[in-house]
Structure 1
Amino acid sequence: MNKKISFFFSIIFIAVIISHAFAENESRDNLYRNDEYQFRIKFPVGWKIKEGDGKRIVKKAVDTKNLSSLIISAAKLPGNIDIKDFSQKELDEFLRDSIEEIKSKYSDVKIIEQGIRYLDNKKAAYLKYSFSYKTLDKTINLVTVQYTTLYKGKYYSIGGGAPVPIFNAQEGIINKSIASFVFEVHHDVESLSKNELITYRDDTYKFFFQYPKTWTAVPSTHKGTRIKIVNEYGSGDADCGVNVQFDASLKNVTPKDVIATISNPQILQKAMRTAIPDATIVKSGRTYLSNQEAFYAITKFTFRSFDVEVPMKMIQMQTAKSGYVYTFSCRTSSERFDEMIPIFQLISAGFVIKP
């Protein structure tokens, strides 16, 4: 019986890690992260990322073939100024100031569109304008879209432009990149602290799961995964999921039996490597899930898709009750794992098995 239990739980661990490893591939090509100003962005694929070469410019991406570029500027400000605290009058003034700043740089600026829009769900001054840029003996007529905001004592501006004849073709690429801009401040912690939660109830498998509203439920590729959530409103770089399996022969298996049969990390790692060759358990032991005894394992492995390779880390927690085997897991890139583990722990506390 113990061998059967051990084999059963090993299979579930493998299934969960496969479902994560080969889940929807979020392309990390041209992903840029800035730790000083706490943001990330996916620059257009194929564009060359370069260092900033002007005042406040921290990074830029260039499409040399089409003379197009996307530039990010940032600066620290005195105090803790934040656009969310602005009145409508102050927002209007901020927009006017943004226009005046552009006009001070270029003499023939024409404003095409203007208004208050959003950058990563934060209000921002939005401008679309044309102007002439002169370099050596050439004059290039350009169109640019630009978003400027103030967040937690910092100034951010992101703009992308292209020559007038091809701007319409490039605009979608530029806007997609701007839409990927994310402030890497943990909105999910704020959401949890404010009790802003979404509740998923599963009467079939007898559990419910509460998670921050800043995470979004997405489809899963594994039939045993009852719910999978992704941070940053579904466009982030971390996900968590709940996998449930049922076996009538395991109805009398207690959480303590689970720990006793799968607590050997060498055996579990060997089983995992039949599917993920470089899967390595770096830490394991006893823990609690839904206030009952559980086993956990932290595994590192490499996500591979075409020519993309991303080192990953995953934490899995497993327990059982009345024949149901529950596996709660979260993963992200290896470089972000230590930063995200407190968030994963908080989210796991929202998983509750019904009596």
Structure 2
Amino acid sequence: MLGGCLAAGVVTGAAALVAPGPRGRSLVPRTAATLIREAPPRDTTVAQIDLRDGRLYRDPRSGFHIEFPDGWELQQAEEEGVVKAVRGDATIAVMVRDATTPEMLAEARADFLRRGIHLSDQEAMEAVRRELDFGSFDRDALTRFVGRRLEGIRAAARGSTVQEQGIRRLGRWPAGYIRATSDGGSAPGEKITNVLYFTLYHGRYYHVAAGALTARYDSLAPLLQKSIRSFAIEEK
């Protein structure tokens, strides 16, 4: 439902992160606290802990944790680093990707070149993995990065209207921020409102999206934002 408009750019192909359709496999029962050990080949351990007013989801391999609202259905895609919580038409989703794609490497090389530093492909990859975090960028570089993501969103979304964009925070890290409304409801003419936060840390791209039908978004926004604010990168 929240669709590919939030999965553009470096997150191409991950529209299922927030889109409706076949449901992902359920991760946990909706009752007691559970510790889940995923079978190979993923070989990742995920802790699911019931809290008084929410549930903490931790993915140590992808390096993050987030608290989802209590009672929401937790789903996980087959691909590593992708999880979402769903209730009705509302969705909160997280995706983690390797940032050392050709696009990211080109941006890294260009960023260093502006500072008079020439990098080989290998040097650029190492720089992205170790150093090229949003926290080390200046605001102009962040703004350019957000602008490039917007170009991808506009190209991918049907009837997309960007309402807000800029630099906010995701956990303790500066992050690009976009709020957009697009087509995509189950009924003709229905609109979806989404917010997207994205940042880089040690060679990984962290993407947190949330949204719902536009008619219900304002009433759900405090709950969605509470979950987003709980997101944290587990620093190396």
Q: TM-score range by the shorter chain?
A: 0.5 to 0.7
Specify the code of the residue in structure 2 equivalent to 1:247: A
1:111 — aligned with what? none
CA-CA distance at 1:219 after TM superposition: 4.2
Distance 1:224 1:284 in 2: 28
- State yes or no: 1:217 paired with 2:74: yes
Aligned counterpart for 1:228 among listed residues 70, 84, 109: 84
Residue 20 of structure 2 corresponds to which residue in structure 1? 23
> SS at 1:318's partner residue?
strand
Distance 2:225 2:22 in 1: 24
Residue aligned with 2:132, SS:
coil
> Which one-letter code corresponds to 1:281 in the other structure?
V
Note if 1:291 corresponds to 2:172.
yes
Structure 2 residue runs without a partner (length 5+): 1-6, 24-49, 101-124
Higher strand share: 1
Considering only aligned residues, what root-mean-square deviation do their CA atoms show, in Å? 3.1
Q: Kindly indicate whether the alpha-carbon contact (under 8 Å) linking 1:258 and 1:295 is maintained by their aligned counterparts in 2.
A: no
User: Residues 219 and 309 from structure 1, CA distance in 2 versus in 1: closer, same or farther, beyond 3 angstroms?
Assistant: farther
Counterpart position of 2:27:
none
Instruction: State the alpha-carbon separation in 2 of the partners of residues 284 and 275 from structure 1.
Output: 17
Match among 132, 136, 143 for residue 253 of structure 1: 132
Per the normalisation by structure 1, the TM-score is: 0.43
1:277 and 2:158 equivalent? yes
* Contact 1:269–1:279 (CA under 8 A) maintained in structure 2: no
How much identity, in percent, do the aligned residues show? 17
Task: Identify which of 192, 195, 201 aligns with 1:315.
Answer: 195
Q: Secondary structure at the match of 1:273?
A: helix
What TM-score comes out, normalization by structure 2 length? 0.63
Give the whole-Å Cα distance in 1 for the aligned partners of 2:185 and 2:71.
27
**Aligned CA distance change for structure 1 residues 196 and 294 (closer, same or farther; 3 Å):** same
AA at the equivalent of 1:229: A
> Structure 1's 299 and 225: CA in aligned 2 closer, same or farther, altered over 3 A?
farther
69, 84, 90: which one aligns with 1:238: 90
> Structure 1 residues 267 and 206 mapped into 2: Cα distance closer, same or farther (>3 Å)?
closer
- Counterpart for residue 30 of structure 2: none
What SS does structure 2 have at the residue aligned with 1:263?
helix
3-state SS of the aligned residue for 1:285?
strand
1:325 maps to what in 2?
205
Cα deviation for residue 197 of structure 1 reads 2.7
1:1-355 to 2 correspondences below 5 Å? 11-12=9-10, 15=13, 18-19=15-16, 22-24=19-21, 195-220=52-77, 223=79, 226-231=82-87, 236-248=88-100, 249=125, 250-251=128-129, 252-256=131-135, 257=137, 260-261=140-141, 263-264=143-144, 267-303=148-184, 308-355=188-235
Letter in 1 for 2:84: K
Q: Looking at both structures, which has the greater relative contact order when contacts are Cα pairs under 8 Å and sequence separation is at least 6?
A: 2
Code of the residue aligned with 1:299 in structure 2: it is: A
Query: Secondary structure at the residue paired with 1:342?
Result: helix
Deviations along 1:185-241, whole A, 9 cap, x unmatched? xxxxxxx9x8333222212111112222221202448x465210013xxxx220100
3-state DSSP of counterpart to 1:345: helix
Unaligned runs of 5+ in 1: 1-8, 27-191
